[in-house]
Amino acid sequence: MTSMPAEERIGSHLKRAEQALLAAKNTACKPAAVTVPQYAALLWLAEKPGISAAALSRLCGVTPPTMNTVLKNLQERGLVERTAHEWHGNVLETRLTVEGRAVMELADAGAVRVERALAAEFTDEERERLVELLGRCTRVLGALK
């Protein structure tokens, strides 16, 4: 078995960047009193009202049971409403409430500040290249499953 020093492992660098991003977004979402997973769900629900929990879990990158917990907590706070689908009674459609939209917008303002601060560290060309390189990482790692 060949060893590889931690500083040479791309995965270690990706993980540190992800942890720093999550910490910054958690701080940014605090005024809205939501977690990053809750914010992500609210953001996608604003764009795709009526989406199922299963589809939402895929978009947010969490498991369906985790998404069900996130949605249950959001529903208990009155931020989302879940109703039976018109034709598929066993499928629940999820939509933002008026309060849910306001909370999403507050959290999004903080998240956008984080994204803009991050983007400002790179030139346009560097940002495009970084997105391209991260996409390549995703494809390679996805193929290893």
Say how many C-beta atoms besides its own lie within 10 A of residue 34's C-beta: 24
- Give me the average pLDDT of each 10-residue run along the chain (145 residues): 84 94 96 96 95 91 93 96 73 90 97 97 97 95 88
**CA–CA separation, 46 and 119 (whole Å):** 23
Say how many C-beta atoms besides its own lie within 10 A of residue 2's C-beta: 3
pTM (predicted TM-score): 0.85
